[in-house]
Amino acid sequence: MENLNTLILDGKEVVINNEKNVLELARANGITIPTFCYHSELSVYGACRLCLVDIEGKGITTSCSTKAEPGMVIKTNTAEIRKMRKMTLELLLANHDMSCPTCKRSANCKLQDLARQMGITEIRFKKTHKPKPIDTSSESLVRDPNKCILCGDCVRACREIQSIGAIDFAHRGANVEVLPSLGHGLGKVECVNCGQCAAVCPVGALYPKSHIDQTWDKISDKTKTVVVQVAPAVRVALGEQFGMEPGQVSTGQMVAALKTMGFDQVYDTSFAADLTVIEEANEFIKRKLAGEKLPQFTSCCPGWVKFAELYYPDLLDNLSSCKSPQQMFGSLAKELLPEKLGVKKEDLVVISIMPCTAKKAEANREEFKKDNIKDVDYVLTTQELATMIQQSGLEFNELQPESFDMPFGFKTGAGVIFGTTGGVTEAVLRYAGEKIANIRPEDIDFKIIRSNQQLREAEYTLGDVKISLAVVHGLRNTRAIAKDIQNGTCKYDLIEVMACPGGCIGGAGQPINNEPDARKKRTKGLYNVDKMLQLHTAQDNHIVSEIYDKELGEPNSPKAHELLHTHYHSQPRLVDSDVALTEITRKDAVKVQVCVGTNCFVKGSQDLLKKLIHYVEENNLTGLVDVSATFCLKKCGQGPNVAVDNEIISGCDFQIICDKIESKINITS
């Protein structure tokens, strides 16, 4: 070969252009090698054994884990390889729940696609599938172990993108399966509801929990007035379910579909995002000028908020107290719309359409209820909206565009760009630039913020005020920042965090799209919407200004705090998961729970636990004292925490526990 950087691929000479492996080289040259477990953004795993190729001198090997080297002679489609791939698929199908017509992923399932592609018409192996219970404990996701093919995609996404590891492999050999921590339900472990596990799952083993039936029930109930809000990122992804390109804006058809389906009013969450900009920016300006509680984190992403509550409760004061746009809208709608629409508050139903699975859990938080009435009643994903449109028999592409209803349908470009990573920060800077130094958005360079790097840093000078900020997406990337804050070395004033890659446009509720540039195209679509709007700063939204004049007063006023702000608190990583460490022989045994969550652990709870067990054994108290490790007593800043017969003692030491146990035993005796 004349070119020293070429190899032979299926009989043709091809150039190697920095592809990571043979698999990507083949794809770059128009050859699709099947795979379940390969994702370019995750580590190479090589578990599915479908991406086999035959390399001269090396034999049959996995293309995902083999680097392309000059001079290689590679065959991707030999009779032997086809036979091996077919056998692998048949073995998977023999151990699979074959309820394909009713599966959530029936129209977009890799197992179905590859079985059809390989020409599988029968399964030669004995069925081994034994039904397992479906896990519905999460408010956001459903886990169906009967569909799992053990590809490990969910495990790596949770660990490598979010650094959580809420789900992992358990057991060995034929008994291996993917489970949440300690075999508990997904809703009982340290899951942040982001759904990235479901986004990469190639089958129907993980998927967003549906609120479709509840929504149809409310629409059909003539005593209810049902309003719907639509998040910015939905409009640049919904069309993909109907054959459109990623990023193509389908707002008009979407609104037309919602009105035809029976929603009484159709509003835009971008309106509430404008409101969020004003509240959050004013909160930030106050903090910055006073030098207090900095850096300020954004609080729009519920996946990030729960991550902070689970892992960094000592940083919760650094989060903006603003509710997310979804919850701001719900609160404002329940406050103002009953009078405007002439309905009772309890008869007003607020539905959200979001790109995000974590929004389902967010809507159910106790903080977002008033007089036991939820601010947002149900949350649908973009995928669920597409399903409802199909259920309605609507030809989406042929619908005549319609517009959002007023007043909550009016927005500026600042609210629209909330749907992509960096959008919240840019919207806040557009506001702060004018308020602090009379600088308009066109005079600020947002190029760094708009890049797709996982962590971006920038500095801006607004008059006499210097602002240092960071934009991060993917929760794994926030850990180093959090550590710097804890160490007192953080240099940022404002930090935007989005749990999902690319921000909301990459949410797990969006259409499944394996196109490499899909997220970039969705982002471009949002910025194009921003360009086409006449107004680009939240302060230019006259409807928002009217609401301040008539209802809220000033930004961050007591009324604004009542409706638009909230508070956050530490959460246990495992729910109802005490681990017994001593033998219990009496029902009236003194119950001692030692918290071994992160904050208590670093403050010495493990040593405390060891001493306590030794104390029980040495003093012949086995059976009289029930010692267990628990994972959170919700007083993380005051650890180590110990509960004795449910009485929580913070800042506890060994002698205090001993004294408390002895007094309890004496009383019992």
Q: What is the 3-state secondary structure (H, E, C) of 30-69?
A: CCCCCCCCCCCCCCCCCCCCCCEEEECCCEEEECCCCCCC
In a domain, 82, yes or no: no
Output the six-digit token pair for 213.
Answer: 């039936």
Pairing of strands 206-208, 296-297: unpaired
- Check whether residue 129 and residue 258 sit in a common domain: no
The pLDDT, as a whole number, for residue 250 is 97
Please tell me the total number of residues recorded for the chain in this structure. 669
Buried-exposed string 88-124: b where 16+ CB fall within 10 A, e elsewhere: bbbbbbebbbeebeebbbeebbbbbebbeebebeebe
Read off φ and ψ for residue 531, nearest 5 degrees. -60, -40
- Check whether residue 500 and residue 552 sit in a common domain: yes
| End residue of a domain, out of 540, 564, 588 | 564
Tens of pLDDT, residue by residue over 502-537, are 999 999 999 998 888 999 999 999 999 999 999 999
In the chain, the number of structural domains is: 4
Just list the catalytic residues: 280, 283, 300, 320, 359, 362, 367, 504
Q: Specify whether 203 is located in the same domain as 226.
A: no
**Residue 223 DSSP one-character state:** T
pLDDT at 357: 97
Instruction: Check residue 663 and give its pLDDT.
Output: 86
Domain enclosing residue 304, as ranges: 212-564
pTM for the structure as a whole: 0.87
Which two tokens mark 98?
Answer: 């074959």
pLDDT recorded at residue 610: 87
- Tell whether 419 is covered by a domain: yes
Q: Cα dihedral sign for 446, 448, 451, 452? A: negative
Same domain, 425 and 290: yes
Quick one: pLDDT at residue 1?
44
Same domain for 54 and 110? Answer: no
> Which residues of the chain are under the pLDDT cut of 50?
1, 669
543 plus 664 within the same structural domain = no
Task: Identify which of 225, 219, 215 has the alpha carbon closest to the alpha carbon of residue 346.
Answer: 225
Rounded distance between C-alpha atoms, residue 334 and residue 349, angstroms: 9
The pLDDT score that the predictor gives to residue 49 is 87
Give domain status of residue 574, yes or no: no
Give the C-alpha separation, 171 to 621, whole Å.
35
224/202 same-domain check: no
Residues 219 and 126 in one domain: no
In this structure, the answer to whether residues 204 and 335 fall within a common structural domain is no
Coil, strand, or helix at residue 473? Answer: strand
Torsion of CA 420, 425, 428, 433, to 10 degrees: -130
Average pLDDT, the chain: 91
Question: Does 662 map to a domain?
Answer: yes
CATH, residue 70: 3.10.20.740
Same domain as 261, residue 147:
no
Question: What is the Cα–Cα distance from 420 to 232, expressed in whole angstroms?
Answer: 9
| Cβ-proximal residues to 74 (8 Å cutoff; 6+ apart), any chain | 7, 8, 9, 10, 22, 26, 53, 54, 55, 56
Residue 433 within a domain: yes
Residue 440 lies in a domain: yes
Q: How many other C-beta atoms are found inside a 10 Å radius of the C-beta of residue 290? A: 9
